[in-house]
């Protein structure tokens, strides 16, 4: 589902070119440019180091051996000493350059990771769900890793290679401008060919990045669903799916490497062409007396110096395609505008308990049919309201609109008289808390999970919160009390216990409007009742909206909202609604009574 | 872990065995894909041989073309043509050998990666659920991705390095034929190079390990946070989560900078060494030339060969530089591959048809942290009967349900189907006999049909629709635009909670199991539907034994027997009516709603 959308989107948009992506990437990470000038100077010095050997060789041959007066050992010694000295300097600058490079890129990319991570959390719930978790994780891990690997190994090499090409050209011109010109005549058309090949390579790498994300998603699913896989004996099927994803990724990688090898081969054409031209032309120049044998020899050395950076740069440009694909996937996230955004110049909620009003609210999930058809309702402040209805009737959707996890497709929701869209998130989230149907606990201690709601509270306060909800005994029975490790997703607790923790966490957040979506569906009836009366006592005076299949909640609430197939069909106190013969609520309640009271 | 190379690394300080471990890792990887590797190495050798022959061709050109041209003042067209032809032939050879090397080494590396990924993910599937609970999903993602990549990293430059080694041997031969003194200078370069690399590798190992661990931690933090995105959002904790993630990412950054500093210090040295060697060789060559031991052409050849060697010799440096990281990655991969606790399945098949008999015989179960969740549990679900499992939150019901489906094995005692210990049964037989519907519904990122059928035999559309109808899910699935072909999204995001639960219920029913274990699998299902399901299971042709975790009195009342759990022990057994009479804690639990209402009415009356 999501990948199809993604590919369509990408096709429509026409993937931006690599330079565009690089440019955008660099703009987004200004750290990468800090001290760039100095780094470049270091790079230039470093690249001079590569010239030491051939230039010394030439000097030795020309002046030391063929110089007037025969071989001159002292001259050669001098050249060698200077050469070693220069090498020492360039090695030092190489060290400095690499160190700076690591510091700068790692710093910039850590910030990029952080920004991307934050942006993913800022996207709306529906946006987040349109992509698999493994794939989102890939964006803040391996996608960014490709960028860092490239910047550290390839990025500077491209720059130093370019510098080397310039330096080599300059030296070649000094030796023989005719030969230098000839070399460039060969080089220019080949470089155009390389550029053309790169485009194909870019596509291949973009597929590689996508297939990594798919592979990670497949792994994530099989790990999270391990229990189902095991109990249905569908290990073979699952490993087949994994194998397909792994194989698909391998296939894409192999395709990319093949294209990259051919593109790299273009460097070989330069190699051949340049040598051939130098040999032929050089022979004539030597014959014509425009050049010495030593000069031609040195030139042949220089040619290697020219070709090697070309080869390296081609290689690194190939690598760059991979990095650009990774970078693009990161930038794509950053470019996605959050559609449920924190309003600019938003207002704060008024003090005190909050009332809610839904005005003609409609909602359809993206690409789906409408699931709420014009909800008009007022929930007064200080009341406890139960929301009931058959499964799929739209209760959770209602709750998500109420807490602005999504915005309605039509109509509006007001909280404390202010339209939800105009309320600052900081104010909204601190005053309104929801316990979603699929609660989630973090890997950490019990106390850590409660502090998620309010980081500043101490152990004692946490314990008090548990006591107030009648759960002190439960905490005491845990092996390490508040310091008990809950495991990933709270796996060390029973499902009902996880719900208790989620509820305490929401209670600690001390909201003025509390929304509970099936928050105690897995808790045993006795505990649930104890909990709900404790909760009633401590939340008295606040507004509470409770979605529950167990109608015990409805019986004790001030008002009941009854949903049926996306419509609000009844609304009023429990007793009244239950008395309406043949109504949806009367039906639901009748069956509830039958289910809980029969012999 | 089986081999000696794998003891855990000390946290700090260099480790001497790292080079050996790295080489062993490389050997293992070559064995996985020897063919592609050989192609790549042959390619690399041909390629480097061609590179060397440049030296000779240049030497030849200088002596046969340039010197005569200089002396005669004219160019011999014939020798120029030969020179160009030789260059052309060489280029073609170089191009094809280079492609062989690169494609060979690349695809070999990818094959090895895929191989390990398959192995690692197979282990994920084979390891017990308790192992999964101890390892965050994000870390497992990192094992299958970043660690595998790290382990295989030396493979990319390896054939190149092998080619270089080959070239070095060749040049040593050439050097020795030219002059022993020059050869000795060259020879002296290698011990220096290897020592430098060894020091580098051992200093690098602990840093690489730390970086790789942090990579996994970043992945784990990211995955967990995106998993809990809804809660993060609902509580407005985005900023705090970002801080947490940024903390780990910051540690990774520092670790990588540490790695970088080391590389920055060593790599230029490793690179500069051959260059210094070349200069020294030049010097020695010159003295030898002066002494008349070698000629001018030989001196040129020697210098040129040194300058050619300078670049590819770095490939050896690349391989050596990647070794520490690769050892760390390999160890992390091995850690998964060597993890134990697999469920061993037996080889017995149950041949009975109709409802199975489930028996718990003095079963006890303790979690890894010591929590004894079940103690001395004995009861049976006789064929075709329904047993309700009732107990307060955290009393051990899910633990028991997991044991019944053999997601875990009891610490003591035995669980049996038709008298056969579950540990003796094949996986297939187990899965065909018993279906567990877990408390938290899990839906695969696939179509409705695939989620129900799970590629099990004999589940056609008719069966699927029957199962959907039985689970009360036929109506909403029928309303879906694409029907059974509707894609449900990751973990079934496009469904409501109750809809997901019904689908998983239908999935269990579709397999027509002989025993159905429902772990509170009907909490979001309307009471009406639930009683229909249970009634259906009792009377229909494909009747099954049922173990159902439930709280609703009507559900319980349908059961032939009730087993009541308190703190992991069975404290009462009997029919619902009996227990209601005789066991107070039971009565308090199941009549909670009734009593609450009675109290409320009483309060209202007294208030009135
Ligand atoms: N993310 C989504 N994308 C598309 N459709 C969705 C999505 N979430 C819910 N729906 C659909 O919207 C309808 C209402 O769902 P909602 O979750 O609001 O139901 P509910 O009343 O809360 O049900 P339950 O009692 O099972 O929790 C359902 O038909 C469901 O399939
Ligand atoms: N992975 C685990 N590690 C340690 N302890 C665990 C683990 N899973 C469950 N427990 C503990 O074992 C006990 C029984 O848990 P179990 O999930 O079987 O309860 P349950 O009866 O199903 O509860 P619920 O009604 O809430 O689902 C609980 O005290 C729980 O905290
Ligand atoms: Mg449970």
Task: Report the range of poorest mean pLDDT among A96-100, A376-380, A497-501, B274-278.
Answer: B274-278
Mean pLDDT of A252-276: 82
The reported pLDDT for the residue numbered B3 is 37
Mean pLDDT of B313-334: 83
Domain with B134 in it: what CATH number? 1.20.1560.10
Q: Considering only CA atoms, which of A60, A155, A56, A140 is closest in space to residue A102?
A: A155
Which residues, judged by CB distance below 6 Å to any ligand atom, belong to the binding site of ligand 1? A 129, 365, 368, 371, 389, 391-397, 437; B 493-499, 524
pLDDT reading at A41 higher than 80: yes
Q: Considering only CA atoms, which of A310, A28, A120, A329 is closest in space to residue A205?
A: A329
**In this predicted model, what pLDDT tens digit does every residue of B263-304 receive, in sequence order?**
888 888 877 777 777 778 777 877 887 787 777 777 767 766
Question: Are B303 and B368 members of one domain?
Answer: no
- φ/ψ of A543, rounded to 5, equals -95, 130
pLDDT reading at A598 higher than 60: no
Instruction: Indicate whether B344 belongs to any domain.
Output: no
Instruction: Indicate whether B208 belongs to any domain.
Output: yes
Q: Record the tokens describing residue A172, joined without a space.
A: 């070649």
- Test B240 with A91 for CB contact under 8 angstroms: no
Q: Could you tell me the residue range of the domain that residue B501 belongs to?
A: 358-607
Strand pairing of B358-366 and A567-572?
A: unpaired
Interatomic CA distance for residues A161 and A167, integer angstroms? 10
Contacts with B, A 5-34, CB within 8 Å: none
A472 reaches B (C-beta below 8 A): no
Mean pLDDT of B492-511: 87
**pLDDT bracket for residue B12 (50, 70, 90):** very low
- Test A232 with B370 for CB contact under 8 angstroms: no
Give the residue whose CA is nearest to atom 2 of ligand 2.
A492
**In this predicted model, what pLDDT tens digit does every residue of A379-435 receive, in sequence order?**
998 899 999 988 888 999 999 999 998 899 999 999 988 998 999 888 888 888 888
DSSP β-bridge partners for residue A544: A384, A514
**pLDDT bracket for residue A87 (50, 70, 90):** confident
Mean pLDDT of A159-183: 83
Question: Are B306 and B448 members of one domain?
Answer: no
CA of A466 to the centre of ligand 2 (A): 19
CA of B401 to the centre of ligand 3 (A): 9
- DSSP letter at A412? E
Instruction: Indicate whether B349 belongs to any domain.
Output: no
Average pLDDT for chain B: 83
Interatomic CA distance for residues B536 and B395, integer angstroms? 29
**Given CA atoms B9, B12, B14, B16 in this order, what sign does their dihedral have?**
negative
A57 reaches B (C-beta below 8 A): yes
Contact between residue A141 and residue A220 where contact means Cβ atoms under 8 Å apart: no
Question: Are B146 and B114 members of one domain?
Answer: yes
CA of A498 to the centre of ligand 2 (A): 10
**Higher local confidence (pLDDT), B96 or A7:** B96
Domain with B580 in it: what CATH number? 3.40.50.300
Instruction: Indicate whether B351 belongs to any domain.
Output: no
Within A150-176, residue ranges assigned H as helices are 156-175
DSSP structure string for A354-369: --EEEEEEEEE-TTS-
Interatomic CA distance for residues A57 and A52, integer angstroms? 8
To test ligand 1's pocket by mutation, which of B479, B480, B496 has the most ligand atoms within 8 angstroms of CB?
Answer: B496
Q: What is the b/e burial string over A150-164, where b = at least 16 CB atoms within 10 angstroms of the residue's CB?
A: bbbbbbbbbbbbebb
Instruction: Indicate whether B346 belongs to any domain.
Output: no
Give the residue whose CA is nearest to atom 1 of ligand 2.
A492
Contacts with B, A 416-445, CB within 8 Å: 425-426, 428-430, 433-443
Instruction: Indicate whether B381 belongs to any domain.
Output: yes
Contacts of A106 in chain B (CB under 8 A): 253, 256-257, 260
Question: Are B446 and B556 members of one domain?
Answer: yes
pLDDT reading at B14 higher than 60: no
The reported pLDDT for the residue numbered A378 is 92
For chain A, the farthest-separated pair of C-alpha atoms sits apart, in whole angstroms, at 124
**In this predicted model, what pLDDT tens digit does every residue of B382-401 receive, in sequence order?**
988 889 999 999 999 999 99
Nearest-10 crossing angle of helices A495-508, A525-539 = 0
pLDDT reading at A506 higher than 80: yes
**In this predicted model, what pLDDT tens digit does every residue of B120-177 receive, in sequence order?**
999 998 888 888 878 888 788 888 888 898 899 888 888 888 888 887 787 788 888 8
Interatomic CA distance for residues B466 and B509, integer angstroms? 9
Question: Are B126 and B228 members of one domain?
Answer: yes
Instruction: Indicate whether B1 belongs to any domain.
Output: no
Question: Are B295 and B437 members of one domain?
Answer: no
Tell me which ligand sits closest to the C-alpha of residue B526: 1
Counted domains in chain B: 2
Question: Are B207 and B301 members of one domain?
Answer: yes
- Test B271 with A84 for CB contact under 8 angstroms: no
Q: What is the b/e burial string over B33-52, where b = at least 16 CB atoms within 10 angstroms of the residue's CB?
A: beebbebbbbbbbbbbbbbb
Give the residue whose CA is nearest to atom 27 of ligand 1.
B497
Instruction: Indicate whether B186 belongs to any domain.
Output: yes
Question: Are B589 and B471 members of one domain?
Answer: yes
Mean pLDDT of B518-527: 77
Q: What is the b/e burial string over B258-285, where b = at least 16 CB atoms within 10 angstroms of the residue's CB?
A: bbbbbbbebbbbbbbbbbbbbbbbbbbb
Give the residue whose CA is nearest to atom 6 of ligand 2.
A492
B240, B244, B249, B254 alpha-carbon torsion, rounded to 10°: 110
Interatomic CA distance for residues A590 and A578, integer angstroms? 8
Ligand 2 atom closest to the Cα of residue B130 is 1
Contact between residue A90 and residue A164 where contact means Cβ atoms under 8 Å apart: no
Strand pairing of B412-417 and B358-366?
A: antiparallel
pLDDT reading at B4 higher than 50: no
Question: Are B312 and B431 members of one domain?
Answer: no
Interatomic CA distance for residues A143 and A327, integer angstroms? 7
pLDDT reading at B11 higher than 50: no
Question: Are B296 and B399 members of one domain?
Answer: no
- Across the interface, which of A65, A97, A436 has its CB nearest the CB of B296? A65
The reported pLDDT for the residue numbered A559 is 92
Mutation to test the B interface, candidates A79, A338, A526, most B Cβ within 10 Å: A526
Strand pairing of B412-417 and B569-574?
A: unpaired
Query: How many other CB atoms sit within 10 Å of the CB of residue B295?
Result: 11
pLDDT reading at A4 higher than 50: no
The reported pLDDT for the residue numbered B538 is 67
To test ligand 1's pocket by mutation, which of B473, B487, B495, B525 has the most ligand atoms within 8 angstroms of CB?
Answer: B495
**In this predicted model, what pLDDT tens digit does every residue of A547-590 receive, in sequence order?**
988 888 888 889 999 999 889 999 989 888 888 888 888 888 88
In sequence order, what E strands does A302-439 have?
356-364, 370-379, 384-389, 410-415, 418-419, 432-435
Contacts of B456 in chain A (CB under 8 A): 232, 234
Tell me which ligand sits closest to the C-alpha of residue A129: 1
A242 reaches B (C-beta below 8 A): yes
**pLDDT bracket for residue A2 (50, 70, 90):** very low
Task: Report the range of poorest mean pLDDT among A487-496, B106-115, B243-252.
Answer: A487-496
Question: Are B377 and B493 members of one domain?
Answer: yes
Contact between residue A540 and residue A468 where contact means Cβ atoms under 8 Å apart: no
The reported pLDDT for the residue numbered B7 is 36
Mutation to test the A interface, candidates B133, B393, B427, most A Cβ within 10 Å: B393
The reported pLDDT for the residue numbered A65 is 59
Interatomic CA distance for residues A402 and A551, integer angstroms? 21
Q: 3-class DSSP state for residue A47?
A: helix
The reported pLDDT for the residue numbered A22 is 76
Task: Report the range of poorest mean pLDDT among A353-357, B137-141, B335-339, B575-579.
Answer: B137-141
**pLDDT bracket for residue A295 (50, 70, 90):** confident
Q: Give the distance, in angstroms, between the CA of residue A379 and the centroid of all CA atoms in the same chain.
A: 39
ipTM value for the complex = 0.84
Mean pLDDT of A452-458: 88
pLDDT reading at A58 higher than 60: yes
Strand pairing of A410-415 and A356-364?
A: antiparallel
Domains, chain A, in order of start with CATH, read 15-335 (1.20.1560.10), 356-598 (3.40.50.300)
Ligand 1 atom closest to the Cα of residue A396 is 22
pLDDT reading at B211 higher than 50: yes
pLDDT reading at A502 higher than 50: yes
Tell me which of B337, B372, B405 is where a domain ends.
B337
Interatomic CA distance for residues B481 and B376, integer angstroms? 51
Q: Which residue of B has its CA nearest to A49?
A: B272
Contacts of B454 in chain A (CB under 8 A): 232, 234, 237
Question: Are B122 and B160 members of one domain?
Answer: yes
Ligand 1 atom closest to the Cα of residue B476 is 29
């Amino acid at each position: 589902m999501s990948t199809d959308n993604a590919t369509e989107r990408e096709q429509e948009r026409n993937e931006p070119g690599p330079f565009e992506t690089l440019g955008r990437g660099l703009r987004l990470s200004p750290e990468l440019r800090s001290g760039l000038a100095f780094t470049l100077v270091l790079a230039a010095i470093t690249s001079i180091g590569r010239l030491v050997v051939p230039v010394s060789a030439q000097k030795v041959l020309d002046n030391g051996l063929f110089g007037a007066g025969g071989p001159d050992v002292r001259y050669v010694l001098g050249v060698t000493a200077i050469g070693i000295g220069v090498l020492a300097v360039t090695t030092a600058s190489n060290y400095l350059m690499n160190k700076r490079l690591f510091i700068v890129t790692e710093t910039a990319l850590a910030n990029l990771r952080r920004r991307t991570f934050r942006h993913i959390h800022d996207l709306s719930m529906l946006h987040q769900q349109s992509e698999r978790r493994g794939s989102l994780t890939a964006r803040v891990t391996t996608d960014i890793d490709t960028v860092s690997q490239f910047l550290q190994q390839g990025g500077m090499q491209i720059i130093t290679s370019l510098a080397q090409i310039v330096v080599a050209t300059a030296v070649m011109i000094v030796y023989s401008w005719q030969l230098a010109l000839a070399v460039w005549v060969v080089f220019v058309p080949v470089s155009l060919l390389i550029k053309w090949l790169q485009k194909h390579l870019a596509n291949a790498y973009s597929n590689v990045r996508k297939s990594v994300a798919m592979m990670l998603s497949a792994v994530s699913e099989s790990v999270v669903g391990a229990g189902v896989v095991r109990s249905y004996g569908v290990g073979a099927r699952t490993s087949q799916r994994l194998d397909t994803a792994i194989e698909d990724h391998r296939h894409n990688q192999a395709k990319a490497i093949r294209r990259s090898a051919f593109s790299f081969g273009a460097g070989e054409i330069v190699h051949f062409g340049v040598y051939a031209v130098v040999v032929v032309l050089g022979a004539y120049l030597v014959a014509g007396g425009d050049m010495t044998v030593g000069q031609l020899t040195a030139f042949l050395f220089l040619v290697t110096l020219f070709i090697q950076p070309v080869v390296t740069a081609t290689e690194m440009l190939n690598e760059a395609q991979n990095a650009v694909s990774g970078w693009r996937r990161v930038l794509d996230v950053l470019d996605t505008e959050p559609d449920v955004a924190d309003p600019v110049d938003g207002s704060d909620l008024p003090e005190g308990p909050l009332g809610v009003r839904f005005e003609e609210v409609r909602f359809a999930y993206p690409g789906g049919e409408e699931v709420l058809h014009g909800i008009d309702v007022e929930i007064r402040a200080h009341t406890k309201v139960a929301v009931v209805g058959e499964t799929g009737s739209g209760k959770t959707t209602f709750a998500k609109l109420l807490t602005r996890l999504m915005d309605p497709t039509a109509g509006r929701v007001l909280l404390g008289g202010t339209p939800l869209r105009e309320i600052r998130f900081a104010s909204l989230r601190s005053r309104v808390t929801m316990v979603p149907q699929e609660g989630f606990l973090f890997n950490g201690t019990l106390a850590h999970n409660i502090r998620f709601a309010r980081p500043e509270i101490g152990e004692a306060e946490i314990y008090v919160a548990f006591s107030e909800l009648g759960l002190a005994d439960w905490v005491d029975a845990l092996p390490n009390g508040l310091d008990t490790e809950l495991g990933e997703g709270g796996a060390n607790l029973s499902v009902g216990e996880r719900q208790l923790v989620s509820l305490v966490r929401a209670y600690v957040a001390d909201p003025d409007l509390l929304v509970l979506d099936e928050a105690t569906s897995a808790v045993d009836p006795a505990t649930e009742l104890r909990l709900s009366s404790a909760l009633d006592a401590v939340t008295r005076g606040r507004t509470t909206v409770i979605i529950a299949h167990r109608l015990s909640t409805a019986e004790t609430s001030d008002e009941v909202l009854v949903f049926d197939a996306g419509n609000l069909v009844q609304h009023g106190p429990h007793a009244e609604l239950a008395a309406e013969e043949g109504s949806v609520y009367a039906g639901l309640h009748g069956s509830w009574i039958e289910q809980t009271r029969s012999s | 872990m089986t081999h000696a190379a794998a003891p855990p690394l000390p946290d700090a300080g260099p480790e001497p065995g790292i080079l050996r471990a790295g080489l062993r890792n490389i050997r293992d990887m070559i064995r996985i894909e020897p063919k592609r590797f050989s192609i790549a190495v042959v390619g690399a050798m041909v390629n480097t041989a061609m590179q060397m022959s440049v030296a000779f061709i240049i030497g030849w050109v200088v002596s046969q073309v340039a010197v005569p041209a200089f002396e005669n003042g004219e160019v011999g067209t014939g020798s120029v043509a030969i020179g160009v032809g030789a260059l052309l032939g060489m280029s073609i050879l170089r191009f094809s050998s280079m492609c062989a090397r690169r494609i060979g080494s690349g695809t070999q590396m990818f094959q090895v990666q895929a191989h390990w990924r398959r192995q690692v993910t197979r282990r994920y599937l084979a390891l017990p659920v308790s192992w999964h609970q101890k390892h965050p999903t994000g870390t497992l993602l990192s094992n299958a991705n970043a660690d595998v990549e790290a382990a295989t990293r030396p493979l990319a430059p390896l054939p190149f390095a092998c080619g270089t080694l080959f070239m070095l041997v060749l040049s040593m031969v050439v050097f020795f034929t030219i002059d022993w003194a020059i050869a000795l200078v060259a020879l002296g370069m290698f011990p220096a190079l290897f020592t430098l690399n060894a020091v580098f590798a051992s200093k690098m190992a602990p840093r690489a390990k730390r970086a790789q661990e942090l990579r996994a931690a970043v992945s784990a933090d990211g995955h967990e946070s995106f998993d809990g995105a809804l809660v993060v959002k609902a509580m407005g904790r985005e900023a705090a989560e970002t801080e947490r993630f940024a903390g780990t990412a910051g540690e990774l950054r520092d670790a990588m900078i540490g790695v970088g500093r080391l590389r920055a210090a060593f790599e230029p040295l490793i690179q500069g060494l051959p260059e210094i060697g070349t200069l020294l060789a030049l010097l020695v060559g010159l003295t030898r030339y002066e002494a008349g031991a070698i000629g001018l052409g030989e001196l040129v050849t020697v210098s040129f060969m040194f300058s050619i060697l300078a670049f590819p010799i770095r490939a050896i440096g690349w391989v050596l530089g990647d070794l520490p990281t690769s050892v760390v990655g390999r160890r992390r991969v091995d850690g998964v591959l060597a993890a134990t606790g697999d469920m061993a399945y037996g080889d017995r098949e149950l041949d009975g048809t109709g409802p199975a008999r489930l028996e718990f015989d003095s079963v006890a179960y303790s979690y890894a942290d010591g929590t004894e969740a079940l103690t001395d549990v004995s009861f049976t679900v006789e064929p075709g009967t329904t047993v309700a499992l009732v107990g307060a939150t955290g009393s051990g019901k899910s633990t028991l349900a997991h044991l019944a489906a053999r997601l875990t094995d009891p610490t003591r005692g035995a669980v049996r189907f038709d008298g056969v210990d579950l540990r003796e049964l094949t996986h297939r037989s187990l899965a065909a006999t018993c279906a567990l519907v877990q408390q938290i519904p899990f839906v695969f990122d696939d179509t409705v049909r695939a989620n129900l059928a799970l590629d099990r035999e004999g589940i056609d559309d008719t069966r699927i629709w029957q199962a959907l109808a039985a689970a009360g899910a036929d109506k909403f699935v029928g309303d879906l635009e694409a029907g059974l072909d509707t894609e449900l999204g990751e973990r079934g995001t496009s469904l409501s909670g109750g809809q997901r639960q019904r689908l998983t219920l239908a999935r269990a029913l579709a397999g027509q199991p002989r025993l159905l274990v429902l772990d509170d699998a009907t909490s979001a299902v309307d009471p009406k539907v639930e009683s229909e399901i249970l009634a259906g299971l009792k009377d229909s042709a494909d009747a099954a034994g049922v173990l159902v975790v439930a709280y609703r009195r009507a559900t319980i009342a349908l059961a032939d027997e009730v087993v009541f759990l308190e703190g992991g022990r069975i404290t009462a057994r009997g029919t619902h009516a009996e227990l209601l009479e005789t066991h107070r804690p039971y009565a308090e639990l199941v009549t909670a709603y009734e009593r609450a209402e009675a109290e409320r009415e009483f309060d209202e009356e007294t208030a009135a």
